[in-house]
Amino acid sequence: MLKPKQQIQKWATELDLDHVKFTDTSLSADGEALQRWMDEGLHEPLNWLNDHGDMRWTPSSLMPGVETVISVRLHYLPEDVDLAAALKQESRAYVSRYALGRDYHKVLRRRLAKLAKQINQAFPGTESRALVDSAPVLERALARKAGHGWVGKNTMMINPEEGSYFFLGEIYTTLKIEPDTPDDQDRCNDCDACLKVCPTAAFVAPYKLETKRCISYLTIENDGPIPVEFREPIGNRVFGCDDCQVICPFNKYPKTAKLDDFQPRNNLDTAELLDLFELSEEEFLARTEGSPLRRAGYHNFLRNVSVGLGNSPRSDAVINALQLRLSENLSEMLNEHIEWALKRQYDPTRRRRKLRR
Ligand code: B12
Ligand code: SF4
Ligand code: SF4
């Protein structure tokens, strides 16, 4: 049999995971950085980030006896999908490139659970647990220590050769394995392209993101109205945002997804805003089966598309569709976004605006 590290890497390759690396569990400096970020309130309104005390940066609080963290990278960018071009077609909906195919939680969790089981069986007396976004884990800090790359000014984990379009996942194990060497040299140097491109000015400083301004938060996690100041800058982004990755020079030739699961489904890469806005709840559920878009929920999704329509070129078809939805009176929150969009459609002087700090 191969040595444990090589054996685990072999199994991971058989499971189509892109890269697997190993680290120990000491994260105290990162814990302090996270605490400072939260002390400044930059995590709000995601208050659950602060729910588990030091568990997020102390793996042994989550799983007693853990010796090694196996950090896994899974690339998701579909081949042949356009990036910046889709944002310029204002009648089209832009769905973040990670969300065009199947929900990564399922895709990655299934593979990690299988890998954890293989480890448990091959090394009796050890315990291994698969984690994907489901537990309080500091994924990027672990990935950096394990040698996947560095955390850029856009706060993304970036690999110098393969870019940043990947998900992270982990296995905590009581099996002791020699840690890999970090390769976390900061290669951002004097570049600040990501900080400048952000449509909602979400970076308070390099390496520091203010959650409540990020379009990813505003269109996915946010369960209430989208503050008016962000609606124009959101443009046609109806689910998530990729701008601070698309502009990054390390994503010029990014590694793309091996797995078919991440290929666009139900034409989400080419959908028109109007088509999405006209979906009934049943059609929305059918069209987003197994997709991360389900996470937003029907009403919040229509809220996002209303904002997109308010920013799209003036058209009678758009105005009619907005008026029809308004007459359905689905919710006060949605009505207010539709009224905003109608006002924008009727305003001949409107422009696309980017926020600045
Ligand atoms: C909360 C969250 C968000 C929030 C806040 C984002 C943020 N920048 O923190 C929102 C909703 C805005 C968000 C957006 C997105 N997210 Co998100 N998100 C998370 C989540 C659940 C927690 C992140 C977290 O703890 N943030 C707090 C900050 C402070 O911690 P951190 O980013 O890990 O930074 C650490 C290091 O940078 C380091 N550090 C920073 N400064 C310093 C200074 C010193 C001195 C030291 C020693 C260390 C240090 O310490 C920090 C704490 O350890 C993770 C999953 C997870 N459990 O980790 C996914 C995760 C980070 N998200 C991910 C993705 C894909 C996205 C989006 C691209 C989705 C999209 N397309 O719309 C955007 C990207 C926006 C962006 N530029 O970050 C991926 C990132 C993969 C990658 N290549 O980096 C993750 C890892 C999910 C996954 N399993 O793959 N996300
Ligand atoms: S994902 Fe978009 S909104 Fe969020 S920080 Fe990056 S560029 Fe800004
Ligand atoms: S765009 Fe420039 S500053 Fe931002 S993460 Fe990439 S290299 Fe770093």
3-state SS string for the chain: CCCHHHHHHHHHHHCCCCEEEEECCCCHHHHHHHHHHHHCCCCCCCHHHHCCHHHHHCHHHHCCCCCEEEEEEEECCCCCCCCHHHHHCCCECEECHHHCCCCHHHHHHHHHHHHHHHHHHHCCCCCEEEECCCCCCCHHHHHHHHCCCEECCCCCEEECCCECCEEEEEEEECCCCCCCCCCCCCCCCCCCHHHHHCCCCCEEECCEECHHHCHHHHHHHCCCCCCHHHHHHHCCEEECCCHHHHCCHHHCCCCCCCCHHHCCCCCCCCCEHHHHHCCCHHHHHHHCCCCHHHHHCHHHHHHHHHHHHHCCCCCHHHHHHHHHHHHHCCCHHHHHHHHHHHHHHHCCCCCCCCCCC
pLDDT of residue 45: 97
How far apart CA 308 and CA 318 sit, in angstroms, is 11
Tell me which ligand sits closest to the C-alpha of residue 153: 3
With the most atoms of ligand 1 within 8 angstroms of its CB, the residue from 139, 150, 223 to mutate is 139
pLDDT of residue 187: 98
Choose among 177, 60, 178: nearest CA to 123. 177
- How many Cβ atoms from other residues are within 10 Å of residue 223's Cβ? 12
- pLDDT band of residue 314 (cuts 50, 70, 90) is very high
How far apart CA 342 and CA 158 sit, in angstroms, is 40
Pairing outcome for strands 157-158 and 150-151: antiparallel
Shortest-distance Cα residue to atom 24 of ligand 1: 138
166-217 tens-digit pLDDT: 999 999 999 999 999 999 999 999 999 999 999 999 999 999 999 999 999 9
4-63 tens-digit pLDDT: 999 999 999 999 999 999 999 999 899 999 999 999 999 999 999 999 989 999 999 999
With the most atoms of ligand 2 within 8 angstroms of its CB, the residue from 215, 231, 238 to mutate is 215
Residue 89, both tokens: 């077609």
- pLDDT band of residue 305 (cuts 50, 70, 90) is very high
pLDDT of residue 353: 65
Pairing outcome for strands 203-205 and 208-209: antiparallel
Tell me which ligand sits closest to the C-alpha of residue 207: 1
Shortest-distance Cα residue to atom 1 of ligand 2: 241
pTM of the prediction? 0.96
pLDDT of residue 124: 95
* Residues taking part in catalysis: 133
Protein residues with CB under 6 Å of any ligand 3 atom: 152-154, 188, 191-194, 247-250
Instruction: Give me the chain's average pLDDT, please.
Output: 95
82-115 tens-digit pLDDT: 888 888 999 999 999 999 999 999 999 999 999 9
166 phi/psi in degrees, rounded to 5: -145, 155
pLDDT of residue 137: 96
- How many Cβ atoms from other residues are within 10 Å of residue 294's Cβ? 15
How far apart CA 325 and CA 227 sit, in angstroms, is 21
Average pLDDT over residues 213-238: 97
CA of residue 330 to ligand 2 center, whole Å: 29
Shortest-distance Cα residue to atom 8 of ligand 2: 198
Average pLDDT over residues 146-166: 98
Tell me which ligand sits closest to the C-alpha of residue 151: 1
pLDDT of residue 211: 98
CA of residue 347 to ligand 1 center, whole Å: 38
pLDDT of residue 351: 65
What residues does each domain of the chain span?
Answer: 4-77+102-173, 193-255+263-346
Amino acid at 72: V
CA of residue 232 to ligand 2 center, whole Å: 14
pLDDT of residue 352: 61
Are 138 and 27 within 8 A, CB to CB?
yes
CA of residue 213 to ligand 2 center, whole Å: 8
pLDDT of residue 86: 86
pLDDT of residue 349: 76
